[in-house]
Amino acid sequence: MSDAPKVLFEITEEHLDTGMRGFPVSTVFTSEVNPQDGLHYVGYPIADLADLDPEAAVYLLFYKRLPTDEELVAFKAELVKRSTVNPRVIELLKVLPKEGHPMEWLIAGLTFLGMLCKTGNYREDGLNVVAQMPEVVAAIYRIRAGWGAPIASKPELGLMENFVHMMGVPGADAAKLTRLMRVFYVLHMDHGGGNLSTFVGKAVASGKSDTYASLGASMAGLYGPLHGRANQECLEFLDKCGTDDPDQVEAFVRGEMAAGRSIFGFGHAVLRAEDPRAGVQYDLGKELCPEDPFYRRAVVMRERAVKVLKESPKVKNPYPNVDAVSGTLLRACGLTDSEYYTVLFGLSRCSGISAQIVDERLVHRNGKGVAIYRPDDIPVNQPRRRLTK
Ligand code: AMX
């Protein structure tokens, strides 16, 4: 038997400029994305965890096992203790320009938290972020949307219960929105280590930047329409479709494809089957908003968009992804402005990225941490030359 390290992946010239598709760059302890059966958190299929307490899911990602009942009570109490946001952060949010996208506000909010609250300890900062993000995001909503002054936090309600309380969404059914946000939060927390926002956040942290700066960079990645902002684009896409007549939906999808536009909510870089997180949300829609016009459209799209995408030889995965119906449910539960949807994704995803940053900085390589990221590149069209005097 040879002691030579196992070859995991062979890189050929065709792999260049493919956005590192499929390159294994690190080990990850929090979650796995399997092409066929999708996302697992520390071995548990995501659909099994969808109704878990959000705090228990956070515990799972940070400590790699589910808490006992007593541990969960203690962990919730710890998050309550960590939840006080420095009031200067909220004051700073109040002067941001309303023209800025909510994701730009979120990046600013993380930067303000970092300036005023960082401890410099990745584990402390990671848990503080989890505890404080609900208040920051609720403040972003209220201030930017003009819903009125921020509402005082009641952290003992629970992470998502308190979030819905602090949002004070005009006209919303708080019980329905809480049910949705608890599931939404658990589903969006983590998705392996190679997705753009997580990869970027860990890369920035590898230079020993702090958690807040690293998460700000992550959220800039999540902001892109092909990544996290697809949930906003997807609702706009369903709006533009305008019908739940199956044949008209199919004709609409064909038209978008012919025009070279994306079919939002479908496809994935890794998955090769329907994303189980989409399945959980389609089922939740049956409970929360079965007659909602956007929900009905999304359900028809689940069949007809797949049919059309399957006809395109270049599309590797024609199936729904996590964003196919998430915006539809948020809209039906009172969050009608799709511009904010990526912020809700970020609220949840920061917890998974924080847990992965803790692992990469404090656990990998026997506590030494993953080395500073430094992939190689191949110079092209740069013949050696000199300035002529
Ligand atoms: N609509 C239109 N074209 C699509 C498509 C879709 N839903 N999915 C894939 N394609 C196209 C790609 O643009 C690519 O075209 P090209 O060769 O001309 O550049 C080709 O099919 C092959 O792509 P792929 O290997 O199947 O996927 P990918 O890894 O390059 O891209 C993704 C993955 C998600 C960006 C792509 O499927 C897409 O643009 N989907 C729509 C946007 C969306 O829903 N994004 C959310 C993803 C989940 C998330 O991160 N939140």
Task: Tell me the sheet residues that pair with 320.
Answer: 266
Amino acid at 46: I
Helix (H) or strand (E) holding 145: helix 122-145
191: in domain: yes
Give domain status of residue 3, yes or no.
no
Give yes or no: residues 184 and 282 share one domain. no
Q: Which CATH number is 171's domain given?
A: 1.10.580.10
Tokens of 138: 């609720």
User: What is the 101 CA–ligand 1 centroid distance (Å)?
Assistant: 24
- Indicate if ligand 1 lies below 6 Å from the C-beta of 371: no
- Nearest atom in ligand 1 to the alpha carbon of residue 261 is 2
Same domain assignment for residues 236 and 123: no
Q: Is the CB of 194 under 6 A from ligand 1?
A: no
Of 112, 149, 104, 102, nearest to 132 by C-alpha is 112
Backbone phi and psi for residue 34, each to the nearest 5 degrees, phi listed first: -95, 130
Among 332, 356, 382, which residue terminates a domain? 332
CA of 269 to the centre of ligand 1 (A): 7
30: Cβ below 6 Å to ligand 1? no
Asked if residue 205 and residue 236 are part of one domain, the reply reads no
Assigned domain for 103 exists = yes
375 occurs within a structural domain: no
168 and 187 co-located in one domain: yes
How far, in Å, CA of 282 to CA of 103, rounded?
26
Q: Are residues 217 and 104 in the same domain?
A: yes
Q: Are residues 249 and 352 in the same domain?
A: no
Angle at 162 between CA 52 and CA 289, to 5 degrees: 65
Query: 328 with 343, same domain?
Result: no
Give the residue, by CA position, lying nearest to ligand 1 atom 38. 267
Q: What is the best residue among 196, 199, 261, 263 to mutate for testing ligand 1's pocket, by most ligand atoms within 8 Å of CB?
A: 263
Last residue of a domain, one of 316, 332, 348: 332
Query: What integer pLDDT is reported at residue 389 of this predicted model?
Result: 83
**Residues labelled as active-site residues:** 227, 268, 323
Q: Domain range for residue 152? A: 31-228+339-367
Residue 97 to residue 158: CA distance in whole angstroms: 31
Domain CATH code at residue 248 = 1.10.230.10
User: Given this model, what pLDDT does residue 118 score?
Assistant: 97
**One domain, residues 152 and 269:** no
Cα 264 → chain centroid: 16
Q: Establish whether residue 346 lines the binding site of ligand 1, counting it when its CB lies within 6 angstroms of any ligand atom.
A: no
Assess whether 101 and 167 both reside in one domain: yes
260 & 301 share domain: yes
Minimum CA distance residue for ligand 1 atom 40: 267
The predicted pLDDT at position 170 comes to 95
DSSP state of 302: H
227 Cα: distance to centroid of ligand 1 (angstroms): 10
In this structure, the residue with its CA closest to atom 28 of ligand 1 is 269
Indicate whether this model's pTM tops 0.85: yes
CA distance 376 to 386: 25
Per-residue pLDDT of the chain (389 residues; tens, 9 = 90+): 578 999 999 999 999 999 999 899 889 999 999 999 999 999 999 999 999 999 999 999 999 999 999 999 999 999 999 999 999 999 999 999 999 999 999 999 999 999 999 999 999 999 999 999 999 999 999 999 999 999 999 999 999 999 999 999 999 999 999 999 999 999 999 999 999 999 999 999 999 999 999 999 999 999 998 899 989 999 999 999 999 999 999 999 999 999 999 999 999 989 999 999 999 999 999 999 999 999 999 999 999 999 999 999 999 999 999 999 999 999 999 999 999 999 999 999 999 999 999 999 999 999 999 999 999 999 999 999 999 98
Q: Is residue 360 part of a domain?
A: yes
Helix (H) or strand (E) holding 178: helix 174-188
Classify residue 64: in a domain, yes or no.
yes
Which residues are bridge partners to 31 per DSSP? 41
Is residue 149 in a domain? yes
Same structural domain, 55 and 188: yes
Where a domain ends, among 306, 332, 358? 332
Tell me what percent of the chain is helix, strand and coil, each rounded to the nearest 5. 55, 5, 40
- What does the alpha-carbon distance between residue 135 and residue 295 come to, in Å, rounded to a whole number? 29
Contact 322, 188 (CB under 8 A): yes
Residue nearest ligand 1's atom 18 by CA: 314
**In what helix (H) or strand (E) does residue 296 lie, and over which residues does it extend?**
helix 293-310
Residue 25's pLDDT is what?
A: 85
Based on the structure, what is the number of domains in the chain?
Answer: 2
The answer to whether residue 302 is domain-embedded is yes
Residue nearest to atom 16 of ligand 1 (CA): 314
Q: Are residues 48 and 151 in the same domain?
A: yes
